[in-house]
Amino acid sequence: MTKILIVDDEPLTVQQVRDLITGFGYNSKFALKPGYLFPLLEQEGFDLILLDINMPETDGITLLRQLKMHPEYQDIPVIMLTGMADDQLLADCLECGAADFINKPIRAIVLKARIRAALTKQGYIRKIEQQKEILEQQTEELKTYRKHLEDLVRERTAKLREEIDEHRRTEESLQNAYKELQNTQAQLVQSAKLASIGELASGMAHELNQPLTVIRMTAQITRRILLKNESDSDKLRKEIEMIEKNTGRMMNIINHLRIFSRQSQQELSPVNINEVIENCFLMIGEQLRLHSIEIRKKLNPDIPKITADANQLEQVFLNLLTNAKDAIEEKRTRSEPLSQNTERIEIITGVSEDRRSLEILFKDMGTGVSSENADRIFDPFFTTKAAGKGTGLGLSISHGIVTNHKGKIELAETGPAGTTFRIILPLEES
């Protein structure tokens, strides 16, 4: 129940007010001397104080000030009771924190309304204060939560940074390993090429022997003409031209071999694939002819140039030609010796249907690849050839080279009738 404390030195007023308050349904106590105020407050709690301004000893305003400065009682609403209507005094009261004032003589209706207004206001204030407290508490909680979040973020960031560093280190070592691998690969490509040149050596001897034979014969004819003293200068000129032409051919072959064997690092330039294919026959053409292997070339003259390493592509083509030749010979050794007819290797170049790449086909009429070997022919060191004849590196290196050119090499078709390899090299977007 609401409890009201009345502080007034006039017993009559006190009695009148008490009666009224009881009538309003509130409890009340009173102090006839200002000095009783604080001891009473210490004894029990009050919801409102009615405080007379005019009192001997300590006046109401001084008491009001003391109340409003007291940490425990400053929130209790105080309504001042006044006999005289001094505006300045009333203003001072309000300034000091009084909730309201009531003029004497006190009328019931005014007292009731003012008490109720002050209590309601105090109720609101208390509610607001409670809300404020809750808010403060929530803010505090939020602050703690935020700090926790920040700690978490800091922790995660540090961890992430560590992980990134770790990744960077791994990437660096991967890159180093990759560089090393590239170097090793380049060395491997080079050694395989030199090995294939070794394998080509006997073929090269044929290659050079052919023009040499022509030169020798021509020289003999020339000598005979000179011995007979037939001063047919026309005939002589023709023979010398023949010698010149064939020495030129030999130089061409030797020069090409030198270029082919020298380069080891990738060198890109605009390349006409048809020319690269033609160059292969400088080193292998005569050998194929001697083995009665016909070469049929269907080289589309309109194919665009691509940016590539001509030397490396030649290595790929040479391996395909050598493989084709070996497959044809192997087939021959398996069949009746009399059935040696002319076998064929076909090379076709062209642009793919979607016009985005070059397509090169190498078709042979050799043994074909057995189905159990088909998956392994691109593996390094996989060979079905006799020791010393093949290292098994040809196709795996070719695969590496073509992949480096962003292309594809695949076994397109194989069977008893022969084998087709397909190389696809992308054209630059124009």
Ligand X SMILES: Nc1ncnc2c1ncn2[C@@H]1O[C@H](COP(=O)(O)OP(=O)(O)OP(=O)(O)O)[C@@H](O)[C@H]1O
Instruction: Kindly list the residues in this chain that would bind Mg ion in the complex (CB under 5 A).
Output: 319, 323, 394
Number of residues that this document lists for the chain: 430
Q: Any contact of residue 200 with ligand X (CB under 6 A)?
A: no
- Out of Mg ion, ligand X, none, what residue 327 binds, judged by CB under 5 to 8 A for its kind, is ligand X
Q: Any contact of residue 367 with ligand X (CB under 6 A)?
A: yes
Q: Which of 247, 261, 384, 404 binds ligand X (CB under 6 A)?
A: 384
Q: Which residues inside 397-426 make contact with ligand X, applying CB under 6 A? A: 419
What 67-71 contacts at long range (C-beta under 8 Å, 24+ apart), as own/partner pairs, is 67/37, 67/97, 68/96, 68/97
Contacting range for ligand X; rule: CB under 6 A; set: 145-153, 241-249, 263-271, 392-400: 392-400
Q: Any contact of residue 391 with ligand X (CB under 6 A)?
A: yes
d(CA 299, CA 314): 15
> How many Cβ atoms from other residues are within 10 Å of residue 185's Cβ?
14
Q: Any contact of residue 390 with ligand X (CB under 6 A)?
A: yes
Binding mask 260-299 for ligand X (x = CB under 6 A): ----------------------------------------
Q: Which is nearer to ligand X, 27 or 384 (CB)?
A: 384
Please measure the distance between the N-terminal and C-terminal CA atoms of the chain and give it in whole angstroms. 95
Contacting range for ligand X; rule: CB under 6 A; set: 174-182, 252-260, 340-348, 389-397: 389-397
- Out of ligand X, Mg ion, none, what residue 203 binds, judged by CB under 5 to 8 A for its kind, is none
- Out of ligand X, Mg ion, none, what residue 58 binds, judged by CB under 5 to 8 A for its kind, is none
Q: Which of 327, 345, 360, 365 binds ligand X (CB under 6 A)?
A: 327
Contacting range for ligand X; rule: CB under 6 A; set: 36-44, 85-93, 129-137, 321-329: 321-329
d(CA 24, CA 427): 102
Residue nearest to Mg ion (CB): 394
Contact assessment for residue 371 and residue 413, using Cβ atoms and an 8 Å cutoff: no
Q: Smallest distance from the beta carbon of 248 to ligand X, in angstroms?
A: 31
Q: Any contact of residue 319 with ligand X (CB under 6 A)?
A: yes
Q: Count of residues binding ligand X (CB under 6 A)?
A: 23
Contacting range for ligand X; rule: CB under 6 A; set: 33-41, 105-113, 217-225, 361-369: 361-369
Contact assessment for residue 422 and residue 398, using Cβ atoms and an 8 Å cutoff: no
d(CA 118, CA 112): 10
Contact assessment for residue 89 and residue 118, using Cβ atoms and an 8 Å cutoff: no
Q: Smallest distance from the beta carbon of 280 to ligand X, in angstroms?
A: 14
- Out of Mg ion, ligand X, none, what residue 393 binds, judged by CB under 5 to 8 A for its kind, is ligand X
Q: Smallest distance from the beta carbon of 227 to Mg ion, in angstroms?
A: 50
Show the tokens assigned to 351: 């642009």
Contacting range for ligand X; rule: CB under 6 A; set: 13-21, 46-54, 294-302, 367-375: 367-375
Residues found near ligand X in the complex (CB under 6 A): 319, 323-324, 327, 364, 366-369, 373, 377, 382-385, 390-396, 419
